Amino acid sequence: MGTLPSLAERSAYRFDELGSLQFARVCSLLLDPDLDWDDREHGRVALAMDGLRPPGGDAALEAPTLVVIAWLPAGKAAPVVLRGLVAEELERESSTRARSVLLLTNVVTDDTTELAPVPMAAVGPEQIGALVDSSSELRLTLPFVLGIRELGGLIAPELAARSTVDLAALAALARVFVPTRAYARAIEVLLTRRLAVLTGPPEMGKTALARMVALARLTDGWEAHECIRPEQLWAAFDRDRSQVFVADDAFGSTEYRPEAAERWAFELDRVLRAMDDRHWLIWTSRPMPFAAGLRRIQREHGLERFPQPAEVQVDAAALGVDEKALILFRHSQAAALAPSAVELVRAHGWGIVSHAHFTPERIRRFVRDRLPELAAADATEDELAASVNDEIREPTIAMSTSYAALAPEHRIVLLALLDVPPGPVPERELSAAMRRHAESGFMHPPAELIDRLTDHFLRPVPPTSVAWVHPSWRDLVIAELAEDAVARARFLERCDLEGILLALSVAGGPTGERLLPLLRDDADWDAVTARVARLASELDAPEAIRVLGALDAALEANLPDRSRSEALALARVLLERLAGMWDERRAALPVGALEAWLVLATRLPEPPAPPAVDRTWLELDQTEPVDVAARDELVRFDEWLVLASVLRRLAPDELVRFGFPERYDAILATFVGDAAREATADLEELVRRILQRLRQVAPTYAVAATQARWALAEKDDPWFEVRFETHPRLPEPAVADRVLVERVLRDLR
């Protein structure tokens, strides 16, 4: 259990907030999860035949030892109640003749001499809190304990300063979080594979799960970072520090973003090799964007280094009755409800928990927004039951009503948030988008409008950014915009790059079936085509790649014939504009932009003339052997091979015209011969990647390049070292579902 912190280092845990079931889980995990535990109304009981040493004690108790975990509501007459509980349990175990008692409880027990007729040790809240502080494993397994204490004493200030997560938001999340079986599975995957992919439909808690892993690791000396793109991961990455990275909505927010998949695909090999015992990566994604992103990785880059999805994928969709009951309990407890609202939760708890449309996010909204109103209403039991049912079954009705009630200038804020890059957006950038979409000036300053929407629609992200409270609100605003032809046309006429990408998006919405959400009729296609034509000349290479990729993904989807015809026409306009602009500039093209252009062109029955590639080839052309110990030469060589690979796949006649690979035999042969012998340790990863690329683009060198890669890989590859560590298991509930729900909600205060 580790060394107990000093009294000065201890921090008070509010165990009264947990209820009997969660308190019992904490204590049984601290003591011994493999004891034969029996559930009780007050907690748990077990008999230890070998005796136990009380936490913090010097000597073991005489065996057999009766272990009693007892959670009592605040205000109970603790000694009297505990004496009765212990006496009852001793009587139950009379046949075993327990010779000692170990009591773990959430109430202070100053005098235990009269609580039992046999020797007894009592462990109270202060000692249990100290044990939790000393056990990072328990905090990782049951991170809800981080919601019942102040976090300052567990996270060093310098660690918090280096991390990029929102600590205040994580602390608030810990107050309502319930570690589900999906959470336990994610921990198991991370311990063995260091990468976990959390998938599932919206509102099931994927993001919360990932962030709670990050918070638990923070309390164990790890840095925690949120990163939408791999370059953000590399900006924070430090081999000498323990770090956990959360890539929330890695392949798109509420729809698939092909450029996000491409970014991760390009860096995937390097990222996977960087993950180890002290570096974890968690991707979250809705199922459809993840499936589309994985297909893109496989098609463009192969899956040689990606583990089988079953090895790293965790489905967050399934929730057990015990998990739902605890989710309802934690949200209700954190809301500090009035007594009438508490009684309503208890009275209708089973109907809420057993509802087919139960999700953690719906319960959050229900408890925060609707429950106080229902509790205050003068309604019959049947009316209350019907209201509860309606609120959980059709939350989008209430959400739509909230959106419709907004003033036009407040609605502009939310529409503008659809036209800015994904993730937290600085208020200054959002304000610029608001002005772009506004019909006229605002009656109130943008900051005031944004503030008015905070907590219900938006959440602040320190220091000066905002984001959606939940992606479901983004889904709703998209759906409302899609149904309003006038608003749709106005949005398409004024939108920037992000709005165009939204209009062309696929695999969006709660079920992943939303295609081209803002392109409903000919007028919409005319508007987006005109907007793309105007913006094309302003696009830099990364922006061009994003639009080309979005159109390619749209044409890959199962579009109706009319939409496919319109998309092909738009693709031709974009390809022609970009090719003409690039040729006029007479400059070398980024290889990624050229590739995206050529990929989209293959979708057209009669593609337009491609941009000139001669300048790009000459910019990267290799005329001398590569110094394998020089990073800048290796990077240029790698990019040249990327270009060769693109041309081989999409414009093979161009590669023949350049005389590749025959004209470069001497340079390629020299590199393969020098690779394993002269590559320095810090360049091995890059050299290995180049050899893999060379195998694909120049088959003549496939055998030699493979042998060189083997020579570089003689040392163990940590990615494929699967460690079969066991993680503390959570005892399963041993009582009937409805009884369990009643027990959990009885502890609500």
Q: How confident is the model at residue 111 (pLDDT cuts 50, 70, 90)?
A: low
**The two structure tokens encoding residue 419:** 């036209």
**What pLDDT score was predicted for residue 75?**
67
Is the bond leading into 463 cis (omega within 30 degrees of zero)?
Answer: yes
pLDDT at 521 over 80: yes
Sign of CA dihedral 74, 76, 82, 84: negative
Longest dimension (CA), the chain: 96
**What pLDDT score was predicted for residue 720?**
31
CA of 107: how far to CAs of 28, 66, 69, 88, 260, in Å? 17, 19, 11, 19, 51
Give pLDDT tens digits for 560-612.
999 999 999 999 999 999 999 999 999 999 999 999 999 999 999 999 999 99
Q: How confident is the model at residue 1 (pLDDT cuts 50, 70, 90)?
A: very low
Please give the residue that has the higher pLDDT: either 708 or 237: 237
Given a contact cutoff of 8 angstroms between Cβ atoms, the answer to whether 4 and 130 are in contact is yes
Report the percent of the chain where pLDDT is more than 90. 56
> Which residues have a Cβ under 8 Å from the Cβ of 485 and sit 6 or more positions away?
520, 521, 523
Give pLDDT tens digits for 77-99.
677 888 888 888 888 877 668 88
**What pLDDT score was predicted for residue 578?**
97
**What pLDDT score was predicted for residue 728?**
44
**What pLDDT score was predicted for residue 26?**
95
Question: Which one, of 557, 556, 690, 731, lies nearest residue 269 by Cα?
Answer: 690
pLDDT at 302 over 70: no
Task: Provide the residue ranges of all domains of the chain, joining segments of one domain with +.
Answer: 7-134, 138-315, 321-393, 619-716
Query: φ, ψ for residue 39 (rounded to 5)?
Result: -75, 140
Given a contact cutoff of 8 angstroms between Cβ atoms, the answer to whether 720 and 311 are in contact is no
Give pLDDT tens digits for 485-497.
999 999 999 999 9
**What pLDDT score was predicted for residue 77?**
66
**What pLDDT score was predicted for residue 300?**
62
Question: In the chain, count of helices (H) and strands (E)?
Answer: 35, 13
* Cα 214 from Cα 656, distance rounded (Å): 51
Assign domain 138-315 one CATH number from 3.30.980, 2.130.10, 3.30.60, 3.40.50.
3.40.50
Give pLDDT tens digits for 215-236.
999 999 999 999 989 999 999 9
Q: How many residues in total does the chain contain?
A: 749
The angle at the Cα of 232, spanning 227 to 233, to the nearest 5 degrees, equals 75
**Arithmetic mean of pLDDT over the chain:** 87
Q: How confident is the model at residue 721 (pLDDT cuts 50, 70, 90)?
A: very low
pLDDT at 547 over 60: yes
Name the E strands within 17-83.
38-39, 43-48, 65-70
Calculate mean pLDDT across residues 194-219: 92
* pTM (predicted TM-score): 0.84
* Cα 87 from Cα 425, distance rounded (Å): 60
Report the percent of the chain where pLDDT is more than 70. 93
